[in-house]
Amino acid sequence: MQALLLTRPNPSNPPTLTLTRCPKPVPPAGHILVRVYASAVQPSDKFNAKAGFASTTFPRIPGRDFSGVVASGPDEGVAVFGTSGPDLGFTADGAHAEFVVVAEDAVARKPVGLSHERAACLGVPLTTAWLAIEAAGVGSGDQVAVLGARGAVGEPVCALLRRRQCRILAAIRGPGADIDTVSDPGLTTVRKKTDSEKGVAAVIDTVGDPGLTRAAVEEALAHKGRLVLLTTRK
């Protein structure tokens, strides 16, 4: 099969990726072989390319999010996309190839109306969004400020919040923003936009907003409100 091979990390230059031929993997017990139709690039791929996690070995085939068709194993021929499995942890690479081996419980059936390209983008962002909302502990009627509401994680955060009947204050740049992070980088207007100016039940920061100081968070949050940080920015 053909695959993209990451030969070594490089902190300063573009990663050394090589399109190469390698043996098609054989799934061990409890695993399946998936023919990859589409794969997505996630922050973990960028990190591996620049530095690598402590347990990362090289060379390796990167890629954790994918969509394709089961080529060998239970449900052969079924269209699936990668998920984190029951442990909610993405630990396996290998999706930037024609075939990938994953655990049987680390995929879900792809919805019929969803393209492989779109399905490949669901795994890490959707799981991250779900975990963020669980950490925020919000429910029906709560007001939530979402920083980076149009991003790869911000959009599923908003979609899941709507399913919980939460009310969203979208903090984005430019037109259509409830909170314009260009003119209001420190969230100084959040409290004024909430019920009786009591503040929001949670702030979910998906982008590592550099203007998000402790004072700004305390001003934006209601009593016993929660801040959920998905990333930080130096």
pLDDT for 1: 97
Q: Which two tokens stand for residue 112?
A: 């019929």
If one compares 145 and 10, the residue with the highest pLDDT of the two is: 145
Best CATH choice for the domain 124-229 from the list 3.40.50.720, 3.40.50.11540, 3.40.1160.10, 3.90.1150.10: 3.40.50.720
* Mean pLDDT along residues 61-82: 94
CATH of domain 2-121: 3.90.180.10
The residue to which tokens 């959707």 are assigned: 126
% of residues, the chain, pLDDT over 70: 92
If one compares 14 and 168, the residue with the highest pLDDT of the two is: 168
By mean pLDDT, which of 49-53, 147-151, 158-162 is the weakest?
A: 49-53
Confidence label for 14 from pLDDT (cuts 50, 70 and 90): confident
- Cα separation, 53 vs 19, in Å, equals 23
pLDDT for 46: 79
Mean pLDDT of the chain: 87
Residues in the chain: 234
Confidence label for 64 from pLDDT (cuts 50, 70 and 90): confident
By mean pLDDT, which of 25-34, 104-113, 192-201 is the weakest?
A: 192-201
Q: CB neighbours (10 Å) of residue 7?
A: 13
Calculate the alpha carbon distances from 233 to 17, 66, 99 in Å. 27, 27, 35
Q: Look up the pTM and report it.
A: 0.79
Residue 34 near residue 69 (C-beta atoms within 8 A): yes
Every domain of the chain and the residues it spans = 2-121, 124-229
